[in-house]
Amino acid sequence: MEKEKNRAIHFEVGNKQEIRKIAKTVLMNLTKESRKLQETQVIRYLSEIPQWKEAKIIALTKSMEIEFSTENIVTLARNQGKQIVVPITFLNRQMRFAYWYPQTEFGKNSFGIEEPIDPIWVNEEEIDLVIVPGLAYSKKRERLGFGGGYYDCFLSQGEYDTVSLAYMEQVYETALWDVEKFDIPVEWLITIEGVIHVNELLEKRKI
């Protein structure tokens, strides 16, 4: 009932700011047990898609407490010999990616996101897969981010394989926010219910 109540509230809201507030509330209300259950299954699905299997360098953001945790993703990647890079933000919605090694030291930026203190930059053309964070998604793979516009700007500057990992409470039949021309959908959207891919006509596919 609680999940249905949250979705009903979302449906009445149309602008991005209000939906972001509610999306954050939904995330904060998720239990640790639900998070762990969903994350375990989603990461299993992630590990089976070809883009993950073939990737050598994976870009992601070090997750904040309310977000889908990237901790186990980093562990899995390193165990498979993959390298992790994380973004550092600059003015005008620009960001660059730096390597995240086990010994890398982090500090929080103005958004509260951890970034490497002494970055070792990656050649961004070598990034094989970008795991894109978000607050809410539609089944058309449309993404509502945190409002900075950094990922949309970065993805518009190159061709990258993209995937978002979400709790099922974050995903809706249609976008409940205004989707603008500069909003870039992800190629893959993965939840505990399965995988939605750009070429699969919105069908959920379990691997």
pLDDT digit string, tens, across residues 9-24: 444 446 888 888 888 9
- Tell me whether residue 203 is in a domain: no
Short-list 70, 132, 137, 65, CA closest to 95: 132
The verdict on residue 204 lying in a domain is no
Decide if 119 is inside a domain.
yes
Domains contained in the chain, number:
1
pLDDT of residue 184: 84
Cα separations in angstroms, 140 against 9, 84, 119 = 21, 27, 35
Inside any domain, residue 24: yes
Contacts of 105 (CB under 8 A, 6+ apart): 116, 117, 118
Measured CA distances, 54 to 100, 137, 179, 182 (Å): 19, 25, 31, 28
Domain of 24: which CATH number? 3.40.50.10420
137 assigned to some structural domain: yes
pLDDT tens-digit series, residues 120-142: 999 999 999 999 999 989 898 98
Asked, for residue 112, whether it belongs to a domain, the answer is yes
Sign of CA dihedral 67, 131, 88, 78: positive
Residue 161 lies in a domain: yes
In a domain, 206, yes or no: no
* pLDDT tens track for 41-89: 999 999 999 999 999 999 999 998 999 999 999 999 999 999 999 999 8
pLDDT band at 177 (very low <50, low <70, confident <90, very high): low
Q: What is the per-residue pLDDT for 7?
A: 44
pLDDT digits (tens, 9 = 90+) for 187-196: 999 999 999 8
What local confidence, expressed as pLDDT, does residue 45 receive? Answer: 96
Average pLDDT, the chain: 86
Tell me the residue range of the domain where 116 lies: 2-197
